[in-house]
Amino acid sequence: MSTETLIKVKEEREPLFSKKNRKLLIDPIDSDNPITVQVLGICSALAVTVQTVPAIVMSIGVIFVCAFSNLLISMLRNTIPPRIRIIVQLVVVSLFVQMVSEVLKAYSYDVYLQLSVFIGLIITNCIIMGRLEAFALANKPWPSFLDGIGNGLGYGAILVAVAFIRELFGMGTIMKGTAIEWHVFESMGLKFQSIGIMAMPAGACIILGLLIWAQRARNGYSETN
């Protein structure tokens, strides 16, 4: 290879965190959020957000699974027969979900018991399957990895926000069941009256609806036919 060719290759090589790659991380957190904009992953957003700790653990699990599933599928994209691509994707996601499940069993069994059913359902999470199908199968490994992290972060941000509000007004605490558990209202000398609906799925629906409305209003997003 000539010197001129080597120089050309170096000039064309995209930086790891180019503007395009940064958008893959940033956009899903805000303007292209998988929950509030794409309206995906709603089921788990309603089910695991009664307390903050399970929501944080679920978010970390989804970030890990989404990022590494994207990476592996992208690396295999040219070898996967189109007819069985969904099966391959499910197998890959199942591998990383099982890893998350085993780590939780070993190091945080109480949280595992709270999330056990929903950890398994990560396998069919439409956010993860959607990114594999729409992005990882058509892009290189590094952008696919960043896309997985970005969408996982976007999902996690909404999950933790909903859980924070529900736990605060439903139980009067933050990070309940941990060493840093904070009884917010008691610490301020205020009498706490639980809002019962916050412990119910209906409370999650209301909060999630308000978050979707607030973000879309701020970004000027509207549905098109």
Residue 67 has pLDDT above 60, yes or no: yes
How high is the pLDDT of residue 60? 94
How high is the pLDDT of residue 56? 93
Q: Which two tokens stand for residue 192?
A: 């706490």
**Domain for residue 129, yes or no?**
yes
Q: Which two tokens stand for residue 109?
A: 């069994």
Q: Which domain holds residue 130?
A: 23-214
**Domain for residue 222, yes or no?**
no
How high is the pLDDT of residue 11? 47
Residue 172 Rama label (left phi>0; alpha psi -120 to 50; beta): left
Query: The whole model's pTM is what?
Result: 0.88
pLDDT tens for 43-61 read 878 888 889 999 999 999 9
For the chain, how many structural domains are there in total?
1
Residue 225 has pLDDT above 60, yes or no: no
Distance CA 175, CA 78 (A): 44
How high is the pLDDT of residue 12? 63
Residue 33 has pLDDT above 60, yes or no: yes
**Domain for residue 176, yes or no?**
yes
pLDDT tens for 188-223 read 888 888 888 998 888 999 999 999 898 888 877 666
93 close to 66: Cβ distance less than 8 angstroms: no
For CA atoms 186, 189, 195, 198, give the dihedral sign.
negative
Q: How far is CA 72 from CA 40, 41, 66, 113, 122, in A?
A: 22, 22, 10, 29, 17
**Domain for residue 6, yes or no?**
no
Instruction: Compute how many other C-beta atoms are within 10 angstroms of the C-beta atom of residue 171.
Output: 19
Distance CA 195, CA 169 (A): 6
Q: Return the amino acid letter for 44.
A: S
**Domain for residue 27, yes or no?**
yes
Choose among 198, 191, 156, 197: nearest CA to 176.
Answer: 198
**Domain for residue 207, yes or no?**
yes
How high is the pLDDT of residue 116? 77
Would strands 173-174 and 182-183 be described as parallel, antiparallel, or unpaired?
A: antiparallel
How high is the pLDDT of residue 216? 83
Instruction: Compute how many other C-beta atoms are within 10 angstroms of the C-beta atom of residue 23.
Output: 15
How high is the pLDDT of residue 40? 86
Residue 3 has pLDDT above 70, yes or no: no
pLDDT tens for 143-175 read 999 999 999 999 999 999 999 999 999 999 999
**Domain for residue 63, yes or no?**
yes
220: helix, coil or strand?
Answer: coil
Per-residue pLDDT, averaged over 3-14, amounts to: 56
**Domain for residue 3, yes or no?**
no
Q: Among 10-19, 57-66, 97-106, name the one with the lowest average pLDDT.
A: 10-19
pLDDT tens for 93-141 read 999 999 999 999 999 888 888 887 888 888 888 899 999 999 999 999 9
